[in-house]
A and B are shown apart, each in its own frame.
Chain A
């Protein structure tokens, strides 16, 4: 909750000297990163570069081989109430007894043991988030009947409803078309600003969030680069990271990384364009 934020300048999340993966082939090593309150960091890289593993390590679901991760100054445990989490969109069975508004209330008090009486406060909070995400019309629909874009709108609401310090988003736009991607990215940006949460945003395409990211963490070939988009998304930087020639083309406000097919060809389904990789 917001009242736990005593020091506004101390990093929300602090990763230091972290190494992950097997001895011979670490996914990434010696990763050090301090995430400031309210910062938006995009984690990009090809599939298999360890983006999701990094999120899982922060959630305490995977062990680091070396290094430490602290959340608000304390070693991470198995998940945390200071974290809001947005998973990849997966379709839900239509008979699942959960309405869109239940997704929000679970995000608010789903962790709480005891008798499940909702309370007026919780209801007011859910209504407030429904305002924020313009979800009143959909609130009583079973989640199994929501479209991908509608579902992810509620995911954003669920992630911010308990005022987390940090939002972890794991490819939340992957199942959406370009228009919906923009809508959801903007909603997330607005909500995380209103609720002053930092964001780690895992994606294989930086473009939908390019206008809102403060820094980029680019993972590739066991190495990484951290910096502003202008510092990292450059031909010479990525060529060095991949160890092969890479062209970064900027076109009409979009960034296109060309030449990573060799690293990406295992997962062509993620690519919107067969000849280039949107990074």
Chain B
């Protein structure tokens, strides 16, 4: 294997300005994924992220096939998945089986649409495995819109959503609309997933929406520090992934997922040691 394919930093200074859009996209996704990931973890919804991303992929592929806006298609796909999960899966057990049923269906539907699509194959699989180096100005506009909506909404419902997620029975007794918040969360998650699918692809959405938060929760139980660390980890993975992939000729996804995974491993080891000391 030729290592210069993996890491090659010649001409780095000339390359950097070409990926400004990608860096902005990565930062936006890191911020959004890191924040919403905390709730994905405490609400035990990692599997939902996977299910939503497959349907989001199907929506995007169908949009590509029929020639409408891919981002809109992917949002519609996300919302359909979020709505089905919200309507049918109020109990965790139901939820997992419904997602497991939805997931292969979404993936199959998406691949069917892609197979029927007459365009270039390279574009096609971007939706599955990511195409962060091809983020144009329109896509950036969409991303800024979606991610700021998600982040602002999340901030506004943060406290009651936290209450409803961590201490459901008491939150309900205190008049917190736990069910409505659960639905709002799924819709925001759907948007965040749709945004990630555009950039890192459906298969890798988990590495920005779940892994950083999972890593943060290994090392802290402070509800303030956890989102900060989670965002920091997600930014490291997404920005770091782009900067590393710039030199080589490989797609960005392996870099992002590997950084994300290594951070998680380190946090697991540190967290395990911390817990052992506490006992």
Contacts and interface: CB of A to CB of B under 8 A. Distances in A.
Contacts of A61: 172
Contacts of A124: none
B116 to A, nearest CB: 44
B192 to A, nearest CB: 19
A113 B160 contact: yes
Given A83-B173, A96-B42, A113 B157 contact: yes
Nearest to A155: B170
B166 A98 contact: yes
How many residues of B sit at the interface, in one of the four size bands? 20 to 34
B176 A115 contact: no
The interface residues of chain A, by DSSP majority, are classed as: loop
B76 to A, nearest CB: 28
A142 B221 contact: yes
A240 to B, nearest CB: 34
Nearest to A140: B222
Contacts of A83: 173-175
How many residues of A sit at the interface, in one of the four size bands? 20 to 34
B221 A96 contact: yes
A251 B209 CA distance: 60
B159 A114 contact: yes
A106 B163 contact: yes
29 contacts: A59-B172, A78-B172, A78-B177, A79-B174, A79-B175, A80-B175, A81-B175, A85-B169, A87-B169, A95-B221, A96-B42, A97-B42, A97-B217, A97-B221, A97-B226, A98-B166, A102-B166, A102-B223, A106-B171, A107-B170, A110-B159, A110-B167, A111-B159, A111-B175, A111-B176, A113-B156, A115-B156, A116-B159, A162-B174
Given A85-B173, A94-B275, A106-B159, 11 more contacts: A78-B177, A80-B174, A85-B174, A96-B42, A96-B166, A96-B221, A97-B223, A106-B171, A110-B159, A110-B171, A110-B176
Closest 10 CB pairs of A and B: A110-B163, A85-B173, A142-B221, A79-B175, A116-B158, A97-B226, A116-B159, A87-B169, A106-B163, A79-B173
Interface of A: 59, 61, 77-81, 83, 85, 87, 94-99, 102-103, 106-107, 109-116, 142, 144-145, 158, 162, 168
